[in-house]
Amino acid sequence: MLVEGPAGELSAITRRRRGAPPPARGGSDGPDPVSPSGLARLHLVHGFVQPTGVRSRLLRLPFLLVVLGLLAVWMAPPAAATPAPRVEARTAVVMDAATGAVVWQRQEHRPVLVASTTKILTALVASEAYRPDRVFRVPLAAERVDGTRFGYRTGWLIRRHQLLTTLLLASANDAAETLAAAHPGGRAGFLRAMQAKADALGCTDSTWRDPSGLDAPGHRGSAADLAVLGRALLGEPELAKLVGSPVVRYRWPDGHVQVLTNHNHFVSRGRDPGALGVKTGYTVRAHSTIVAAQRRGGRTLVAVALGSDRMYDDVRALLGYGFKARPKAGAEVLGVTAAPEARPAAHSPERVLPPPAERFTGRGPAPSPLVERLGLRLLAMPMPLAACAGAGFLVVGALALLWLRPGRR
């Protein structure tokens, strides 16, 4: 039985039952009884008791993770260089068609036998020299020419488009001789026109002595010059359509129609999406030769392989490398692509990137040099590593927002 005493005694009992408040820190009663060794006092956070010092360190954790992430990006090595293509050809080059810049080359300016890739230049001269409705009479020299013939007979009348079709798709030497013989200056005049056209396009290494590409004395071309000629042909709609066609319908003089398959397997076999042409060739002395063009992802490349026994493998390796790489700073520019004052000197990184003020935001003031360098490092990282870094930054940002949200104690 509880007997009530004085009011002061009941108050003391009540305080003992509710728990007396801890003495004030730094008071005259001595050290805090809860932390006798001087540790920070405890606070209850979501049901867990944490020292305020520990919580302070946890608040710093997201910022520490951000700093570590930025250091990882800064110290990450750039993406590994693309391995050089494995090419068997004696001379070779892969060129960016838009700029003429060389992406990779092997003795690109060495004049060698080029076989029927010569017909690229023959077609360019013929399409420029003769009207589209021109009809040609087949000369005796065409019927007797050595090498690949389509079957034209002396005296037959053949239209320009038909001759260009068999010249480029069937590599017809009799078509080349028919076109050359019709020149106002005769065959010799046509050869002079071939040399003049090549010179005007910026070719520097080649001499042209045969419209078909047979191994005539002094007939030589370089991989660099053939890349320039291949790009020029792609700029002519009629010729570009022909070399990029897997098959075409050809009408003979007697009216019957034949389906011609492109001799260039890079186009006709359908294994190479985006293949644009251009021309193959072969003689015993020249071995296989090829000028190939392909478009991927908005870029067009021209690859040339001369003196190869695996020409299709070679150009696939060249193009595969070219689409993964970019012309290096100071890369050579082939042919005439623009007026000298307007031609870009090289594909340096500064030319590839937009102006500094627009690199990351597209507008507004330029970022600080540190931010810009970090951004460029991120862009240079391999894709999987860059994706992981981006995901890590998102996680760190989310943690920081959670820790710093209003009302958190």
Best CA proximity match to 326, nearest among 354, 305, 299, 303 = 299
Which single residue is written with the structure tokens 């077609």?
123
Catalytic residue among 171, 206, 222, 245: 171
Give 394's DSSP letter.
Answer: H
CB 378 within 8 A of CB 76: no
Q: What is the CA radius of gyration of the chain?
A: 38
Best CA proximity match to 276, nearest among 259, 260, 289, 290 = 290
**Nearest-angstrom CA–CA distance, 237 and 144:** 31
**Nearest-angstrom CA–CA distance, 56 and 84:** 53
Q: Is 127 a catalytic residue?
A: no
Catalytic residue among 11, 35, 116, 279: 116
Catalytic residue among 11, 28, 37, 119: 119
What angle do helix axes 186-201 and 223-234 make, rounded to 10 degrees? Answer: 90
CA distances from 71 to 66, 373, 383 (A): 9, 12, 18
Give 176's DSSP letter.
Answer: H
The 3-class secondary structure across 296-310, one letter per residue, is ECCEEEEEEEEEECC
Q: Is 212 a catalytic residue?
A: no
Q: How far is CA 1 from the centre of its chain?
A: 95
Q: How many CB atoms lie within 10 A of CB 179?
A: 28
**Nearest-angstrom CA–CA distance, 248 and 236:** 18
Q: Is 116 a catalytic residue?
A: yes
Which single residue is written with the structure tokens 């078509």?
175
Query: DSSP characters for 198-209?
Result: HHHHT--S-B--
CA distances from 355 to 308, 347, 361, 364 (A): 43, 14, 11, 12
**Nearest-angstrom CA–CA distance, 354 and 341:** 20
As a 3-state breakdown, the chain gives helix, strand, coil percent values, each rounded to 5, of 40, 15, 40
Q: List the catalytic residues.
A: 116, 119, 171
